[in-house]
Structure 1
Amino acid sequence: MTTEKSSLHARNLHRNPYDFEQLISCVPELKHYVFVNAYETKTINFSLPKAVRLLNQALLLHFYNIKNWDIPEANLCPPIPGRADYIHYIADLLAEQQPKIPTGTSISGLDIGTGANLVYPLLAHRSYGWKMLGTDINKDSLENAQQILDHNPDLLPVIQLKHQSDSHHIFKNIIETGDRFTFSMCNPPFHDSKESAMKGNLRKTKNINKSKGKNPLLNFGGQQSELWCEGGEIAFISKMIEESVQYSSQVLWFTCLVSKKDNLYKLTTLLKKVKALDIKTIDMAQGQKISRMVAWTFIPQKERKTWL
């Protein structure tokens, strides 16, 4: 018997098993990748990049009315349910200041490393009506993201894109004088090298397939800037924390995903060092694994309501 995915957020639209008949009606090509597994459940082979891409197209069209979503084969193909969870937990964070979740374009979010897939801004606007700015250091990724927006013209006024010209910076060159964001979000590169990324994918593919293949595809794809950076996750988030101090009065909540639990102590220590007024760590599901979101603010409690 198929059960609800209870690890996902209560408002996540993907808690129930995929209705493949419904999804195939949205993207007919998906039918070539659907099969019945040993548990007599319809599924796809999640180690095949094309299968995951077609599933995403169907999910985004059916649940969020995103038309003609697509990404180049080399780019990261994100699992939609886990990405949606991050958005819902940010909504909970913002709702702490008032009786209900704030919606509409008065709430503005900044997505660091939006990628070719643009998934976080798409989900954020369709779920809560928020206005979003997506940034990336890769111009090709941003061109693809713009193509997605062009196919969905109602999104053009509410989702903007901006190129980060300097890979040594995160908020600098992006946040300008007079800008104000309710939150920032980021799914940082986890690995510290290409080799580490490939080893991680081998483990993930083995878990999915229960096989011993030695030449796995990066089943969710991924460019260098999406998967690894010098120093890995801890270096990237530490840089983000240090740079956030310069923009402490322009962002209500800075947030970031943290894949490795062992990194939390170092990050919270750094946040205390830079005098963040409030630090939160929230456990959440991210597809096949448990992740967590770290959030911090420099805005005093009594002033936070004025941002919403």
Structure 2
Amino acid sequence: MQKKKVHPKIKSELHPRSRHRERYNFKVLIKSSPELAPFVAPNKYGDDSVDFFNPKAVLALNRALLIHHYGLEFWDIPEYYLCPPIPGRADYIHNIADLLKGDNSEIPKEDHIKGLDIGVGASCIYPIIGNYEYGWSFIGSDTNEAAIISSKQIEQRNSNLKSNVEIRRQEQSNNFFYGILKPDEKVDFAMCNPPFHASAEDAEKASLKKLKNLKGRRPSKAILNFGGQQDELWTKGGEARFVKDMIYESRNFAKQCLWFTSLISKETTLKPTYKILQKVNATEVKTIEMGQGQKVSRFIAWTFLSEEEQKDWITKRW
């Protein structure tokens, strides 16, 4: 056994309201979800852990986290679909809450706050966390039929989600808001976790590099421990093209959404994105950085509403 690592008690890089700032308590998680037990064993330092290179172990851990921390009665996803790291997804939600709060003293927790999750995926993760933490309702959209079926099943089999989450199929793969938002429908925010890579080859190279860094040797094949389908991992032109198209379409929904947001994986994507936002006359742009372990993540937020219109929106909606 190698010399035991000394871990900080609090993961200070995570959002202050995150439920994941302490190390995993596997005894408590197993009590909430006994299916996790077979995957928990001491690691080389003698600490209880799971094999994060085993997709089944990652799935079992995520299920336990969601049942224990977010009151779910059921959660599952189809094989090979993206199994999201919960702490990072929770940070996006908490930071959106801060964005909506603005200069107000209170964080909006009312159930009349509504969000649009573009690419809800098979996991329905953002509506789960946003509804539990803040009581928000959600529209979740996706182009993938299996993802839609999975998220609908999660929504239907969890009593707290039934009346607060609506899953809608996006029939046109190039659209973001068209075909999803009705003409008279408003949402307080839109969020999105875009495909990062420009091709399947880029996605595999990134996975190989990640595994090499973690294991210290070059694997012969990328094993996606968190899973992921083509439309979850890569798109033509990568995230830069994806976010650009999203921004251009968002102009046509300027009065139907207070804040548009999207995760940005690559720092190099920011500069061209700022130029596009300037070109489309966004009235306010914010970049919110989030730290998750050794990785720095971020999302960009923009609105087309003036300061007065934002205040009026808050007064009428909240």
Class of the TM-score when normalised by the shorter of the 2 chains: over 0.9
After TM superposition, give the deviation of residue 215 of structure 1 in Å: 1.8
Q: Quote the residue 2:126 is aligned against.
A: 120
After TM superposition, give the deviation of residue 97 of structure 1 in Å: 4.1
After TM superposition, give the deviation of residue 286 of structure 1 in Å: 4.7
Comparing 265-274 with 153-162, greater Cα deviation is found at 153-162
Comparing 155-164 with 22-31, greater Cα deviation is found at 22-31
Counterpart check, 1:13 vs 2:19 = yes
In the alignment, is the contact (CA less than 8 A) between 1:114 and 1:135 conserved in 2? yes
> What is the identity, as a one-letter code, of the residue corresponding to 1:53?
L
After TM superposition, give the deviation of residue 301 of structure 1 in Å: 1.1
After TM superposition, give the deviation of residue 25 of structure 1 in Å: 1.3
User: Gapped runs of 5+ residues in structure 2?
Assistant: 1-5
Q: Quote the residue 1:83 is aligned against.
A: 89
Q: What is the distance in 2 between the residues matched to 1:69 and 1:303?
A: 39
In the alignment, is the contact (CA less than 8 A) between 1:79 and 1:287 conserved in 2? no
Q: Which of the residues 264, 274, 291 maps onto 2:270?
A: 264
Q: What is the distance in 2 between the residues matched to 1:154 and 1:86?
A: 21
Q: Which of the residues 254, 257, 262 maps onto 2:260?
A: 254
Q: Quote the residue 2:68 is aligned against.
A: 62
Q: Quote the residue 2:29 is aligned against.
A: 23
In the alignment, is the contact (CA less than 8 A) between 1:47 and 1:209 conserved in 2? no
Q: What is the distance in 1 between the residues matched to 2:136 and 2:292?
A: 22
> What is the identity, as a one-letter code, of the residue corresponding to 1:226?
E
After TM superposition, give the deviation of residue 288 of structure 1 in Å: 5.7
The Cα RMSD (Å) is: 1.3
User: Gapped runs of 5+ residues in structure 1?
Assistant: none
In the alignment, is the contact (CA less than 8 A) between 1:82 and 1:287 conserved in 2? no
Q: What is the distance in 1 between the residues matched to 2:43 and 2:54?
A: 15
After TM superposition, give the deviation of residue 168 of structure 1 in Å: 1.2
Q: Which of the residues 168, 190, 204 maps onto 1:184?
A: 190
Counterpart check, 1:130 vs 2:136 = yes
- What is the aligned length? 308
In the alignment, is the contact (CA less than 8 A) between 1:276 and 1:298 conserved in 2? yes
| TM-score (normalised: structure 2) | 0.94
Q: Which of the residues 56, 75, 79 maps onto 1:50?
A: 56
- In percent, how many aligned pairs have the same letter? 46
> What is the identity, as a one-letter code, of the residue corresponding to 1:102?
P
> What is the identity, as a one-letter code, of the residue corresponding to 1:213?
P
The structure showing larger relative contact order (alpha-carbon pairs under 8 Å, at least 6 residues apart) is 1
Q: Which of the residues 4, 7, 24 maps onto 1:2?
A: 7
Q: Which of the residues 139, 144, 151 maps onto 2:145?
A: 139
In the alignment, is the contact (CA less than 8 A) between 1:81 and 1:287 conserved in 2? no
In the alignment, is the contact (CA less than 8 A) between 2:13 and 2:292 conserved in 1? no
User: Counterparts in 2 of 1:144-293, with a 5 A limit?
Assistant: 144-286=150-292, 289-293=295-299
Comparing 293-302 with 95-104, greater Cα deviation is found at 95-104
Q: What is the distance in 2 between the residues matched to 1:243 and 1:264?
A: 18
In the alignment, is the contact (CA less than 8 A) between 1:277 and 1:299 conserved in 2? yes
> What is the identity, as a one-letter code, of the residue corresponding to 1:196?
D
Spell out, residue by residue over 1:66-125, the C-alpha distance to the aligned partner (whole angstroms, 9 max, x if none).
Answer: 122000111000000000000000000011142110012211000000000000010000
Comparing 285-294 with 88-97, greater Cα deviation is found at 285-294
